[in-house]
Amino acid sequence: MADRQSKWNVSEMPDLTGRTAVVTGANSGIGLVAAGALAGAGAHVVFAVRDEERGREAAGTVRGSTEVRRLDLADLASVRDFAAGWEGPLDLLVNNAGVMMPPRGRTKDGFETQFGTNHLGHFALTNLLLPHVTDRVVTVASGAHRWPGAAIHFDDLNFDRRYNPQRAYAQSKLANLLFTLELQRRLAEAGSPVRAVAAHPGWAATNLQSHAGNPVTRAFMQLGNRLFAQDDRAGALPTLYAAVADVPGASYVGPDGFAELRGAPTLVGRSAAASDPAAARRLWTVSEELTGVGFPVGVAGA
């Protein structure tokens, strides 16, 4: 099994004809590659993007059935509008969009940009769409959840006292994993066959790294892109594997190479902090309070 996983590639995608997928942030990077692969396998793929013009340009490069809908994860009103406009079944939700180490900022609702976008926006979107989801939710996390000092700062989630872009990013990615853990627990408790799975791309050379506010950090990331990174096509493979392979709920997929920086997709481990069910429940409760969105009474298949 492990050997087969280590050799998995996009040619092993199953036929997805008749299935529908939403990919957030599908206009570039691994989101675009994942959306293209899903559409190429027969799925109807919705590009959920903040900039519809860029989304249409990106969708135009993909073969298969696609459409573009506006979604700004940094604005909960936009998230609610997107979900309210959804009709019919949704087989796959890929929570891919994110920001990485930008200068200090706030979402429209006043949350620290990375926590608000990477976690809270996807938290609200997932729970609002969950009554439609029939197969699985894939959330893109990061090896950054293991960075030194990575934690959920429950006493200062928005880094009001002192903003540190690296720690804020690590917090948001740790939150993605704890969200997946608690979402799967709730789905299982509800008797739903829907699975919550997480994935990370390793070190993939995309435009995500160009958003770092610190010029030294940007230079380091650019150097790392040249020396260590795999391209966005390889970086998208863990997401695609998590989306279509028969993996357990709450599992985590990443590259099989050294330090999980690059390689073919396989099941990987996570930090102790990302495996803490008490922290996952606490984060869920706080996220409900902050977004005003909770786990739905009815979920597909339950």
Catalytic residues: 169
Separation in Å, CA 158 to CA 55, 162, 171: 29, 9, 10
Q: Where are the alpha helices (DSSP H) in 131-257?
A: 165-189, 215-227, 232-235, 237-244
- The answer for residues whose C-beta is within 8 angstroms of residue 208's C-beta and 6 or more apart is 29, 98, 99, 100
Report d(CA 22, CA 45) in Å as an integer. 6
The answer to whether 273 touches 145, Cβ cutoff 8 Å, is yes
Residue whose C-alpha is closest to residue 237's, from 11, 49, 10, 45: 10
Alpha-carbon distance of 280 to 177, in angstroms, equals 9
Q: Which residues pair with 197 in a beta bridge?
A: 138
**What's the Cα-to-Cα distance from 272 to each of 129, 149, 244, 262, 278, rounded to whole Å?**
29, 13, 27, 22, 12
Quote the CA–CA distance of 222 and 208 in Å, as a whole number. Answer: 11
